[in-house]
Amino acid sequence: MKTIIHRAADRGTTEIDWLHSRHSFSFGGYYDPSRIHFGMLRVLNDDIVDPGKGFDTHPHQDMEIVTIPLSGILQHTDSTGNFSLISPGEVQVMTAGTGIFHSEYNHSLTDNVCFLQIWVFPDKKGLTPRYDQLLFAPELFQNQLHMVVSPSGNSGCLLVHQDAYFYLGNFTEEKNITYEFHNPNNGIYLFMIEGNAVCEDITLGKRDAIGISDVNEISIKIEQNSRILLIEVQVS
């Protein structure tokens, strides 16, 4: 079993007047040669944007981009004609493919918006740009992991063009979970949004993460009042 541990305090940072961002992997002005990617997982940014502020229109290409709001409302506009508001409980997937321009703003003029944005390398280049979002009922995440993104997009989840699976779970009680990999060539990246958990004897706190590969399953002991994101992605 191979493991990497990313502690919350060791992440890269971007601090400007309206953006407060933490980077699990090298991004923008933050570069760490030991943190370029985890297999096909390229970016995991933990962003807080001030009221009324945001990212002006900018391009992306050949990347699968998953956005998960944690609090507040994120406003999205893109060059394929989409305009949407994304709130907690929703997940967004955008295929940049041959090229797409988009902007992201905090829709509120009074409250911050906090969201995770994750980039995954696609399984092929030159895909047609695509946008989708889905609202999930809160009970789907209650004291269990629920899949929100998959390569098939079946079973009420969103499609991503990669052998990647995203799960979210909100836990109000202790829970022991055995997670079995979909593919033996994959690894998992477990990110603690809130709370505490023990994964393969490694204790994780808020915003800590662990990457595990070269196994077929892992064990997770989740403590009370926790929220986790688990990403299974191709690593070999």
Q: Specify if 1 maps to a domain.
A: no
Q: Are residues 120 and 217 in the same domain?
A: no
Q: How many domains are contained in the chain?
A: 2
Q: Are residues 16 and 130 in the same domain?
A: yes
Domain assignment of residue 49, given as a range:
12-135
Q: Are residues 201 and 156 in the same domain?
A: yes
- Out of 42-56, 94-108, 146-160, 221-235, pick the least confident: 146-160
What number is the average pLDDT over the span 112-138?
A: 97
80, 154 Cβ separation under 8 angstroms: no
Q: Which of 135, 138, 227 is nearest to 190 (CA)?
A: 227
* b/e burial code for range 120-138 (CB count within 10 A of at least 16 → b): bbbeeeebebbbebeebee
Q: Are residues 178 and 130 in the same domain?
A: no
Size of the chain, expressed as the number of residues it contains: 236
**pLDDT value at 155 more than 80:** no
pLDDT for 40 equals 98
Q: Are residues 149 and 226 in the same domain?
A: yes
Q: Are residues 61 and 115 in the same domain?
A: yes
Q: Which two tokens stand for residue 229?
A: 């994101």
**pLDDT value at 152 more than 90:** no
120, 67 Cβ separation under 8 angstroms: no
Q: Are residues 52 and 155 in the same domain?
A: no
Q: Specify if 57 maps to a domain.
A: yes
Q: Are residues 99 and 16 in the same domain?
A: yes
Q: Specify if 6 maps to a domain.
A: no
Q: How confident is the model at residue 2 (pLDDT cuts 50, 70, 90)?
A: very high
Q: Are residues 211 and 149 in the same domain?
A: yes
**pLDDT value at 4 more than 90:** yes
Across-strand partners of 209? 6, 191
Q: Which of 78, 88, 148, 150 is nearest to 115 (CA)?
A: 88
29, 14 Cβ separation under 8 angstroms: yes
Q: Specify if 7 maps to a domain.
A: no
pLDDT for 154 equals 81
> Which residue bears the tokens 């204790």?
203
Cα–chain-centroid distance for residue 169?
Answer: 13
Task: Give the predicted TM-score (pTM) of the model.
Answer: 0.97
Percent of the chain with pLDDT over 70: 100
Domain CATH number, residue 175: 2.60.120.10
